[in-house]
Every structure is written in C-alpha cells, then in structure tokens.
Amino acid sequence: MVTFPVPTGRNETTREEIAMSPKFDPVPLWPNDVEIRVLGLAGEFATGKTLFATMMRPKRTIVYDTETSANAYKAQGFTHVDLCAEGVKEYPTGFTAKNIWLMFLRMIEELKPGQFDVIVIDTVEMLEKGLQEYVEQNPTQYGHTSQTFRKMSGIFWGIVKDEWKRVLSIVSAKCQTLVFTVHLRDEFVNNVRTGKKVPKGKVTLPELATVYLELERHEMVSAAGVSSVPSARVLKSRLAVFPEGLPVEVLPPRMPVATYAAICHYIENPPNFAKLKKAEREVERPGLSADERLAIEAGIASDQASTADAAAARAALPQATASPSPTAAAKPDAIPPTVAPAGAGDPDTEPAAKKRKPRPIRKTKGPKPKPEPAGPATAAPAGAAADNGDDALESYGPGFCSKEQADQLDDLRVVCGMGERAWRSALSKRKANTVEELTTEQADELIAKFDEKIERQGIQGE
C-alpha cells in the first residue's frame, strides 16, 4: 500500500508536496456501501474531536488546522496544514480571518478529487469568520450594496449561508468524508442562559452533515487504570441500512463509545431500538440550577423596579425643571442633552442592584415652536434650509440613537418577527420608552443581538 509520507525533520507538508501526492483507487471508508459525506464533531475542550477526526484513516487524511490542535498527533502520519503558520508566511505583517479564508479556497482548488479519503477542517470558526468578512467587504460581487447589507441583515446572512454551503459541497466532493469540528457555546432563550450548551457555527453545518455528534468524555476505569474515552450524543444521523428492503436506523440516540470503529460497528450491527441499552438512550442534559433561576428572577425584579423608578423620575422632571417664563419654556435647548456612557441603561452590563440616575430631559420630536413675529414677514435668504420639524431632527442629540440606527432597528424587527410587546419590553430594560431614547451603544448592542439571532436561526430577508 502506497502512503503519503510526512517529510522528515519538518513540521508541515508543503503545498507542492500535496499537489504531487499520488491518486489512489479509493478503498471504501465505511462498510456495507454506506457513505458519510459530511461528519460533524462538536464538543467542549479536550473531548477528543481532533483525535476522532485524525484516527479514521491517518495515511489518507489531510487536516486543515486553524488552532494547531493537530500538532500533537502528527506521528499518525496524516498530512497537516497549519493555516495560521501558512498565514504568517503569506502575510508577514499580519493576517486577518478573510486572508485565511481566501488562502483556504486556493488550497482546496489545488486538491485533486480522490487525493485524500478524509479532509478535516479543525475547527471551522475562523473560516466562517473569514467568509463573513469577505462577503461584507464585497457586496457588489453578490448583487447588493453595503447599505442593503446594513439595513437588511437577513439578506447578508442568507448569502453567507449559501456561499458556505457551496464551498463545503465542493470540498466534500473531493474525498470520501469531510470532517468538521466546532466548539460549544452557551444556549440562550429570550436573552436568558438556559444552562445548556449548543454547537457553534452557521446553520449550514447541521444541514449538510450526514452524521453530527456532540462528543462527551466520561472516565472509564479498566484493569490498566483510568482512561478517558469519548461518548457522544447523536445530534443528527441520516444513516440507514436495508436488511429486508425496509430502512433500519444505524445509530442510537447516544453512543457510549464514540469512535470511527464504533460507527463502523453500528453500520454492520444496527441497534435494536425496542431494546436499547441504558447507555444508548438519550440522557436529559441539566439546565439551570435553583440558584441560577433565583438569580435571574431577582435580576428581572430589580430591572422592573428600576424601570418604575425611572418612569416616575421622568414624570416629575418637567415640573421640577420648568422655567417660570413662557419664552424660556419654549426653548428646547434650555437643558442640553448629555452623552450617556457606554453600556448605560443596559441591565446586561451593570449589576442589577445598581440604581441609575434619571436621564435629563432631551430634545423631543415635533415641530419647533414658532416665535411671535416682530414685524412684517421677510423672505428667507437664498440657500436657507426650511424648518421641517421631525425631518430636521436625526436623534435626541449626541450620544443617542441616530436616525440611521432607528431605521435599521425597525427593519431588523420586521425580519425577526418581533412583536410590539416584546419590543417595548426590550426598550424598557434599557430605560427607554422610544427607540430615540436609546444611547448609541445601546442601539449598536440591539442591532448586534438581532444580527446574532438572524445568523443563528438562518433567517433570510424578503
């Protein structure tokens, strides 16, 4: 059997050596004519994602490494491409995620179909970030403008999703199995942490995956001592065998031992779903503890109390600050707007128990009061701008939500299907009654949260 050697005395395989590697007649990677075109491996740190991926068929595997995770396992003989090291060579003064993405595309284009049985991307986060940067900086390539991307993030994320699917489909067509790895992140529901973990990455990943596993690591005691073997929750499986012309699922809800050999064993010996072993049944993951639930409830109660205090203070302020002179009261500039500090009014960035000072009165929307004419009306000088009331005001003042931000938030609310009640609740948490009362930082934070929701759920604009 011919193998692709790892060069002696050097850490990395050069692109020229990869291009010159021989093409093989593929030996099936999976038994019983089963194909797993895309295999996803998610998990916390040190759950065995990289080891799983590199031990399938090492001599016929190439690993595109974004975190140098595979460095410790190169003795197995797989072809290792350290994308960060390659980035330093190609961009000595510094590289971005977009540079790594473009470099990865060139490398994939140079690969011949069948050159490797297994292609591993470990992990995908940097490439997804690079793809996002590239699309964001090249809107005209996709028939849009930067303004469209800013105002309709659903269109932007839809393009990112489609482009990612296109590239991954090309990669998977050049090998028997494409393996990608991702880390986990906290799960949030209505901006509240549930205590559970979910895989990172775009929705494209689970859509394309034939098998998607969330690896866990449980200590197992043997005669040789304590060893650590990964188990896995089966997040998705399209695998089936047809012993008597009827489909039979191959993987149980949970794999007590999660390895390449274990998947091959299940393909040849499907489990009896009527008599699953205890270790093969789904285990309910723990959610929030009682203390965490109490902390969240206390934070909500504190936010509500702060909102009531702020509303009462706002109602009292005009009477306390009103000028006895009607002329002075008609001047909206009598009390100048103040710039709120970053994160002000956001309960997510300040301790719940901390009370905020009432916000001073600012400019309000509506027509400006017209002064009594002192004499005959005179024509405005040439070039003078007319007073258009609302159109002349773009925000409450420096440091507060601009008209552009307000328009963007309105568009994002429509894309995400956010109702009026939920929107008022989001404003209330930030001590605001209208979008114009948000600070610039609060508006940016809400826009970022909408974008994250759109990205996570794969929402596309009309």
Instruction: Dump the DSSP string for 277-344.
Output: -GGGS--PPP---HHHHHHHHHHHHHHHHHHHHHHHHHHHHHHHH--SSHHHHT-GGGS---PPPTTT
> Mean per-residue pLDDT for 307-319?
52
Answer yes or no: is pLDDT of 417 > 80.
Answer: no
Q: How confident is the model at residue 295 (pLDDT cuts 50, 70, 90)?
A: low
Give the residue with greater pLDDT, 355 vs 313. Answer: 313
Q: How many CB atoms lie within 10 A of CB 110?
A: 12
Residue among 233, 26, 235, 201 at smallest CA distance from 131 = 201
Give the residue with greater pLDDT, 439 vs 454. Answer: 439
Domain residue spans in the chain? 15-280, 290-314+336-360+391-462
Q: How confident is the model at residue 153 (pLDDT cuts 50, 70, 90)?
A: confident
Q: pLDDT of 161-213, one tens digit each?
A: 999 999 999 999 999 999 999 999 888 776 677 788 889 988 889 999 999 99
Answer yes or no: is pLDDT of 350 > 50.
Answer: no
Q: How confident is the model at residue 375 (pLDDT cuts 50, 70, 90)?
A: very low
Radius of gyration of the chain (CA): 29
> Mean per-residue pLDDT for 366-387?
43
Give the per-residue pLDDT at 79. Answer: 93
Q: How far apart are CA 320 and CA 246, in angstroms?
A: 80
- Mean pLDDT for the chain overall: 74
Answer yes or no: is pLDDT of 449 > 70.
Answer: yes
Give the per-residue pLDDT at 107. Answer: 94
Q: How confident is the model at residue 148 (pLDDT cuts 50, 70, 90)?
A: confident
Residue among 426, 367, 430 at smallest CA distance from 400 = 430
Answer yes or no: is pLDDT of 87 > 70.
Answer: yes
> Mean per-residue pLDDT for 360-379?
44
Answer yes or no: is pLDDT of 72 > 80.
Answer: yes
Answer yes or no: is pLDDT of 340 > 90.
Answer: no
Which residues 6+ apart lie within 8 Å of 168 measured at CB?
Answer: 38, 178, 180, 204, 208
Q: How confident is the model at residue 460 (pLDDT cuts 50, 70, 90)?
A: very low
Give the per-residue pLDDT at 331. Answer: 38
> Mean per-residue pLDDT for 299-305?
56
Alpha-carbon 362 to chain mean position: 36
Answer yes or no: is pLDDT of 322 > 70.
Answer: no
For the chain, helix, strand, coil in percent to 5 are 40, 15, 40
- Least-confidence region, from 24-33, 77-86, 115-124, 393-402: 393-402
Q: pLDDT of 90-108, one tens digit each?
A: 999 999 999 999 999 999 9
Q: How far apart are CA 62 and CA 367, in angstroms?
A: 67
Q: How confident is the model at residue 135 (pLDDT cuts 50, 70, 90)?
A: very high
Q: How confident is the model at residue 311 (pLDDT cuts 50, 70, 90)?
A: low
Give the residue with greater pLDDT, 453 vs 425. Answer: 425
Residue 42 · residue 50 · CB < 8 Å: no
Answer yes or no: is pLDDT of 411 > 50.
Answer: yes
CATH class of the domain at 15-280? alpha beta
Answer yes or no: is pLDDT of 244 > 70.
Answer: yes
Give the residue with greater pLDDT, 3 vs 404. Answer: 404
